Structure 1
Amino acid sequence: MTNKSNIQKAYELAVEQYESQGVYVQQALDRMRDVAISVHCWQGDDVVGFEGNDGALGNGLAVTGNYPGRARTSDELRSDLQFAYSLIPGNHRLNLHALYGEFHGAVDRDAIGVEHFQSWIDWGRAQNVDLDFNPSYFSHEKASDGFTLAHPDSGIRQFWIDHGIACRKIAAAMGQAQGDPCVNNFWVPDGFKDIPASRKDPRQRLAASLDEIFTEKLSAEHTLDAVECKLFGIGSESYVVGSHEFYMGYAISRNKVLCLDAGHFHPTEVVSDKISSVLMYVPELLLHVSRGVRWDSDHVVTYSDELQAIMQEIVRGDYLNRVHIGLDFFDASINRVAAWAIGTRNALKAILAALLEPTEKLQQLERDGDYTARLALMEEHKTMPMGAIWDHYCQTSGVPVGAQWLEKVREYETNVQSGRQSKLSAVDG
């Protein structure tokens, strides 16, 4: 048999096994095709952007590694992204930060406009890739002391307020052009290295700044505002203004999307346990799926227990239409396109595994109080032949099956990335 027929045979046998458990594979695959992961642009260039700052990161951000082939221009980044998408089954989005505009000269962040992102909008429409967006409250001289929207200086605070207002207009234009809402996520790194004398004052300033940014009502058909919490950061170890409690309260009271990053909590906390709680009180949820080896270290997403638990929670709660799934990692120690492929394919595998779970049967056993059978079936499900379904999904989606994608990355590295002059583009932490 050919490799293609081997995949088909394995798929047919797997379908029989799943159907014996009351799981209909075709229904799971139909739902999979509607899942769009928001792939983050900043993995491709180590969070450098195109403002001409030559890779100078700040505000607690550090990218380690010096693997050759970093994208240095928007065209190189788009080329890498298009190649990465060709390795990933399904149609997916792009998460773009404000420092990735095409500025063609000095344009400060309070003055950016739609025109600086028109090429991204045009590219997205041509590639059938919808865009999401993020203001960039870091790597800037007006953020050098660790404060932006909560800054005690009203002038600096206004600069960052104006940046947020500009970003909302850009996001709305993106959403209008693509006919689908652009999720615009606000992460603000403000905080203190040591114990503050007042925890209240910066939080009052941050809330007031956000309120001013969100004053103009924009159509939810064009853009959705999201706010992202954090536990601590490099340089803000003792106090972060935008804590989980701050943003949870803000999102509930202002009807905003809440963003939960898998690396932004205490190591004993897991995002999977928070999803059903927060969705009782906020309209929608944005996830930044990452892997924190040592807290928020943003490693490439692997097929871990927590990744599976996150996707199980989304599927079990029937939240796929209320949760926006994005990725957030940056590793400059390996091929950057490979990092995208590994992380995104793993996130999709975890979603597929969750969709292939006999959810209704498990929940009925729970309602019946049969916890023995619930645990037994959960454990048996772990060795079901999901890999055969995944291979079939990749094959029918026209992308490489198994590790075949890696050989394509090697060819791309040789033919495209190796021609880029390499230089250290990230802070080695």
Structure 2
Amino acid sequence: MTNSANIEQAFQLACEQYESLGVDVKAALDTLRRVAISVHCWQGDDVAGFEGDDGALGNGLAVTGNYPGRARTPGELRSDLELAYSLIPGKHRLNLHALYGEFDGPVDRDEIGVDHFQGWIDWSNSQGVSLDFNPSYFSHTKASDGFTLAHADSGIRQFWIDHGIACRKIAAAMGRAQGNACVNNFWVPDGYKDTPANRKAPRERLAASLDAIFAEALSPSETLDAVECKLFGIGSESYVVGSHEFYMGYAISRNKVLCLDAGHFHPTEVISDKISSALMYVPELLLHVSRGVRWDSDHVVTYSDELQAIMQEIVRGDYLDRVHIGLDFFDASINRVAAWTIGTRNALKALLAALLEPTEKLQQLEREGDFTARLARMEEQKTMPLGAIWNHYCQSSGVPVGAEWLEKVQQYEHQVMSKRSDVSAAV
């Protein structure tokens, strides 16, 4: 076990080093405590949901691995989430997809209502965990040809429009219950595997469908509409209707939150470079922090250069009040609670590192044209004692320090997850 006194001694020494550079460590930690990461529910069950079918994915989504112990019911998923939250410092949110409702029998996507999510609302209130939401435009027979809101068939379009309208009402109810806005994010997989003859018409249909969904004005204190772009997907390699340019224009012209997913662009593109540009024109951003390896593969978030760059951009631009930070990855090759814990702790650690930068000094050097000193200070920052501050933050938050959390996950796996099978269980 880590010695508490040693952690505090290291913390005090680290504070002295940071403060010698003009960094207020206490202020950085106070800011970090106020940041709520939206943790995605679908890591816990491989994006299967609870609609009562076989949970087969489609529309460009793929989860790889067969690690035992995936959650099969809302009760199991909540139990897993509660453990994960207990291992992560701070108070965070939960991001739910529409296919995670609690359904007594067959309920199609255009018929879902608040009552199907009342269990989640009650759980969130009991846990103090606010909810975010997403319509589910995938893994459905009416999406089997790769099109939903941009479909050429008006009947299928209307089905998915009705689904979107229903989801907005659910998100607003969640926001009212928790006393803060539920971010409701729209990702639509529509696209073609091969080169289309008409790129224009599907985009016109998608815009019209979205306008129909958003026609009713809902209070921004209850729900915020977000729209998410993508470059390509499996089965839509040549053309995605909802491209970055489409949704950038849509978000600007309709005053919507723009969602940037770290895996939804060309492998040589990064979303960190897009944050300051997008926020010049849209009111707020939603980030889906993920890790693509060669493609949109949604690997568990690691402490990478891009993760650090994303958090640096948020802090350097003073955007924390305009950016909603969410996670989006699903790995079935490792323990799923561990995946949540690793990814979320890394996101927070990177944000802490950004908050511990001497931002004002670096920007002053830049204004003065002293690029030598700017580079030198940025490089020296990389070996500052971040770990000592992070360990103190974890200890003061009442969560395990270092890799001590892994022992709790392993114990839970042995006592709880190992007893699960792939057969559906009772709630």
The bucket for the TM-score relative to the shorter chain is: over 0.9
Tell me the equivalent position of 1:7.
7
Aligned-pair distance for 1:268? Answer: 1.0
Q: Distance in 1 between matches of 2:379 and 2:129?
A: 37
Aligned-pair distance for 1:2? Answer: 7.4
Tell me the equivalent position of 1:195.
195
Instruction: In structure 1, list runs of 5 or more residues that go unmatched.
Output: 425-429
For the residue of structure 2 that corresponds to 1:403, the secondary structure is: helix
Tell me the equivalent position of 1:222.
222
Give 2:161's aligned amino acid.
I
Alignment of 1:269-418 (within 5 A): 269-418=269-418
Tell me the equivalent position of 1:137.
137
CA deviations on 1:351-376 (whole Å, 9 max, x unpaired) are 00000000000000000000000000
CA deviations on 1:188-244 (whole Å, 9 max, x unpaired) are 000000000000000000000000000000000000000000000000000000000
Tell me the equivalent position of 1:76.
76
Alignment of 1:144-159 (within 5 A): 144-159=144-159
For the residue of structure 1 that corresponds to 2:272, the secondary structure is: helix
Tell me the equivalent position of 2:16.
16
Give 1:6's aligned amino acid.
N
Q: Distance in 1 between matches of 2:18 and 2:358?
A: 9
Q: Distance in 2 between matches of 1:251 and 1:283?
A: 9
Q: TM-score, normalised by structure 2?
A: 0.98
Alignment of 1:39-58 (within 5 A): 39-58=39-58
Q: Distance in 1 between matches of 2:5 and 2:176?
A: 44
For the residue of structure 2 that corresponds to 1:224, the secondary structure is: strand
CA distance change for structure 1 residues 191 and 360 in 2, over 3 Å: closer, same or farther? same
Q: Distance in 2 between matches of 1:240 and 1:421?
A: 37
Q: Distance in 2 between matches of 1:206 and 1:253?
A: 15
Tell me the equivalent position of 2:231.
231
Give 2:179's aligned amino acid.
G
Q: Distance in 2 between matches of 1:64 and 1:274?
A: 29
Q: Distance in 2 between matches of 1:351 and 1:82?
A: 23
- Matched-pair contact (CA < 8 Å) for 2:18–2:25: yes
Q: Distance in 2 between matches of 1:423 and 1:50?
A: 13
Alignment of 1:100-249 (within 5 A): 100-249=100-249
Q: Distance in 2 between matches of 1:322 and 1:267?
A: 26
Give 1:281's aligned amino acid.
Y
Percent identity between the two aligned chains: 83
Give 1:385's aligned amino acid.
P
Give 1:164's aligned amino acid.
G
CA deviations on 1:335-359 (whole Å, 9 max, x unpaired) are 0000000000000000000000000
Q: Distance in 1 between matches of 2:112 and 2:273?
A: 38
Aligned-pair distance for 1:422? Answer: 3.5
Give 1:189's aligned amino acid.
P
Aligned-pair distance for 1:52? Answer: 1.3
- Matched-pair contact (CA < 8 Å) for 2:2–2:401: no
Tell me the equivalent position of 1:427.
none
CA distance change for structure 1 residues 197 and 356 in 2, over 3 Å: closer, same or farther? same
Give 1:376's aligned amino acid.
A
Q: Distance in 1 between matches of 2:303 and 2:52?
A: 36
Q: Distance in 1 between matches of 2:91 and 2:81?
A: 13
Tell me the equivalent position of 1:25.
25
Q: Distance in 2 between matches of 1:249 and 1:376?
A: 39
Q: TM-score, normalised by structure 1?
A: 0.98
Q: Distance in 2 between matches of 1:54 and 1:414?
A: 26
Q: Distance in 1 between matches of 2:54 and 2:104?
A: 15
Q: Distance in 2 between matches of 1:270 and 1:157?
A: 32
Aligned-pair distance for 1:294? Answer: 1.6
Q: Distance in 2 between matches of 1:423 and 1:249?
A: 45
Aligned-pair distance for 1:55? Answer: 2.3
CA deviations on 1:273-301 (whole Å, 9 max, x unpaired) are 00000000000000000000122000000
For the residue of structure 1 that corresponds to 2:307, the secondary structure is: helix
For the residue of structure 2 that corresponds to 1:325, the secondary structure is: strand
Q: Distance in 2 between matches of 1:198 and 1:119?
A: 44
Give 2:231's aligned amino acid.
L
- Matched-pair contact (CA < 8 Å) for 2:132–2:183: yes
Q: Distance in 1 between matches of 2:83 and 2:422?
A: 20
Aligned-pair distance for 1:43? Answer: 0.1
For the residue of structure 1 that corresponds to 2:208, the secondary structure is: helix
For the residue of structure 1 that corresponds to 2:118, the secondary structure is: helix
Alignment: residue pair count: 424
Give 1:221's aligned amino acid.
S
Q: Distance in 2 between matches of 1:422 and 1:408?
A: 23
Instruction: In structure 2, list runs of 5 or more residues that go unmatched.
Output: none
Aligned-pair distance for 1:423? Answer: 6.4
CA deviations on 1:90-112 (whole Å, 9 max, x unpaired) are 00000000000001100000000
CA distance change for structure 1 residues 325 and 2 in 2, over 3 Å: closer, same or farther? closer
Tell me the equivalent position of 1:35.
35
CA deviations on 1:368-387 (whole Å, 9 max, x unpaired) are 00000000000000000000
For the residue of structure 2 that corresponds to 1:271, the secondary structure is: coil
